[in-house]
Amino acid sequence: MQLHFGSVPVLVVSSAVAAREIMKTHDLACSSRPKTSIATRLTYNSKDVAFSPYGEYWRQVRSICVLHLLSNKRVQSFRNVREEETALMIEQIKHYSSSSSSSLVNLTDMFVTLTNNIVCRVALGRKYGGTKGGRRFKELLAMLGELLGVFNVGDYIPWLAWMNRINGLDAKVENLFKEMDEFLEGVVEEHVDRRKREGSDSVNLGSESKHDFVDLLLQIQQENTDGSPIHRDTIKALILRLKWPKWVLADRPLGRLAGRPPGRPDESLSTAVVTFVDCDCQLSRWMTPRMFAGTTGKEPIKGRCPLDPLELTGQLDPRQGACPWTRQREVPPGPLQADRLARSLTYSDMFVAGTDTIFTTMEWTMAELLKHPQIMKKLQNDVRKIAKGKLNITEDDLENMYYLKAVIKESLRMHPPAPLLVPRESIQDVKVMDYDIVAGTQVIVNAWAIARDPLSWEDPEEFRPERFLNSSIDFKGHNFEFIPFGAGRRGCPGTLFAMNVDELALASVVHKFNLSLPDGASGEDLDMTEAAGLTIHKKNPLIVIPTPYSC
C-alpha cells in the first residue's frame, strides 16, 4: 500500500511476496535509509550502521561490525560473560524464592537487568548498575526513547519545522545529545587511559581475546588499515547502537501501531496494509489518539488506515499507480571523505540495538509458556533431560535443545521485537509487483503482519512451536514469511549475539524453576496486553512465583 505522509511517499509492505521483492529482488535499489532530524542529530549525523545511507561509507562501517564486533568468533569469545551473568540472575531468583513459598518475582525486571549487564560488559567492559553514573546512563537512555517517540511533523511537512523551536523539541534534542555525548566521551577516555596504564595499546583483532567493543574500536582506529580513520564520534555511535529497537522507528507514524489486535475485518492492520494500492491523502491533523484514522472515498474501496499519530483523508483506489511527489529533502552525502568515518560508528550501534530486542524476546517467550502450560512442561522435560546432573546450563547444552529453539522462533513469529522493520528508502525507480515505486520512497516492512498472514501460516494466531520442528524455516533472512530481524543488505548483524543470550537465559530459568502466576491464576488469565511503542513489550511486567526444581 502506498501512502503519503505530508510530502513523503511511503510504501507499506505486508506480505511475504512483496517483502521478497523489496529485500531480495530490489534489495540494492531499496537499501538506503530515510533521513529524520531527531535520529540524525542523536546518531552523530546518521553515522551509525542503522541510519547511514547506502554507499561506500555504510559498507565500511558494516564491515567493521560483521568482521570485528559481531562475528561468530567474537560472539563466542564473550561466552563466559553470558554464562556468568545468567548464573547471577538464577541465584537472584533463587534468593527471592527461598525467602517465602509465595515470593513474587518480576521476571521482566530480571530479564532487563540481565540484558543490560551483558551488553555493558561486552560493549563497555564493565556493568553500569547501581552507581550514580550507571543510574544516570539509564535515565539518559529512557529520555532517548521518550524523545524519539515524539512525532516530528517537520520531517514530513518541512515548512512546519519551525514548530520544533517554539515547542522546545529542538532544545530537548540538543540537550540530550550533549549530555549523552559527555557520558560516552568519558567511557572512551576511560578505556584510552587504561590502555596506556597497562601498556595494552595493541589488540589482535583476529584473535578470540576478551577485549570489549570499545577496545576493539580503539584498535581499529589505531591501525586504520583501510585509510579511513575512525574518530571518537564514530566509536560512540557504534556502541550506543546496541539499543536501537527502543526508538529506531519513533518518528515514523506507523511505529506505534503494529501488533495491536485488529478491529473489525475492514479495520484490521493486516487487511489495511496487505494490498498494494495508492492512497492519495492529504494531512488533516496529527497527534490524534485514535487507533485508526479513517480514509474516505467514493469508489471502489472504503477502508481504514492504521496511522496512529496522523489522520489522513483520501481515497484508496487499486487502479491508481504510484505518483511522484515533490520532496524537500537534503541531497544524500557525496563520496566518502577520510575523516567522516571517524564520526560514524557511534555508540548508538551497540546499546540502541541490543537490550530491547533481547529482553523483549525473553519476556514474550516466557509469557507464552505460562499461558500454555503443556508447552512449558514439554520444554522443561526436554531441557532437564539434556542438562541432567549439571549445576548450570552452558552454551554447549543449547546445541541439542531443538524444542527450545522452536519455542523461541514461534515467540519471535507472534511477537517480533520491532514489528515494523527499520524503514528503507529507494534510491532509484523500481517496479514492485507491477507497481511503479519512485526513488525517494520510504519503504516500511510490516514484519508483524507478515508473520500472521494466513496465506503463509496455518492457524497463525495459535502459539504452536511444533510448526518449526523438522522445518527449514529460519530467521536468517532467507524465508520472507519470517523476518523478525530483517533480510538482505540491511538485515540485523547482531542476530547471533541476541539469540545466544535469549536461549541461555530461557533454558536456565525453565531448568531451575517451576513457575506459577500469583493468586492461583491460570495461563488463560495472564494479561497479554501489548504496550504501544517501537518495540512491543508487555504492557504490564511479567510477575511470577518461582519454585526451585529439585531432581
Question: Which residues are known binding-site members for heme?
Answer: 492
The span from the CA of 255 to the CA of 421, in Å, is 9
Q: For residue 454, give the C-alpha cell.
A: 494466513
Nearest to 418 by CA among 478, 485, 491, 497: 485
Contact call for residues 348 and 244 (beta carbons, < 8 A): yes
Judged on CB neighbours under 10 Å (0-12, 13-18, 19+), 216 is: buried
The span from the CA of 255 to the CA of 418, in Å, is 9
Contact call for residues 451 and 457 (beta carbons, < 8 A): yes
SS3 state at 320 = coil
Strands 2-5 and 8-13, bridge-based pairing: antiparallel
Give 518's DSSP letter. G
Longest dimension (CA), the chain: 74
Q: In Å, how far are 42, 170, 177, 436 from 174, measured between CA atoms?
A: 8, 6, 5, 39
* Amino acid code (one letter) for 34: P
Nearest to 502 by CA among 384, 366, 392, 390: 366
Contact call for residues 22 and 424 (beta carbons, < 8 A): yes
* Amino acid code (one letter) for 38: I
The span from the CA of 216 to the CA of 189, in Å, is 14
The span from the CA of 271 to the CA of 527, in Å, is 25
Q: Residues forming the annotated binding site? A: 492
* Amino acid code (one letter) for 303: G
**Long-range pairs of 266-269 with CB within 8 A, sequence gap ≥ 24:** 266/302, 266/303, 266/304, 267/292, 267/304, 269/306, 269/446, 269/448, 269/449
Residue keyed to cell 517554539: 166
Strands 543-548 and 442-445, bridge-based pairing: unpaired
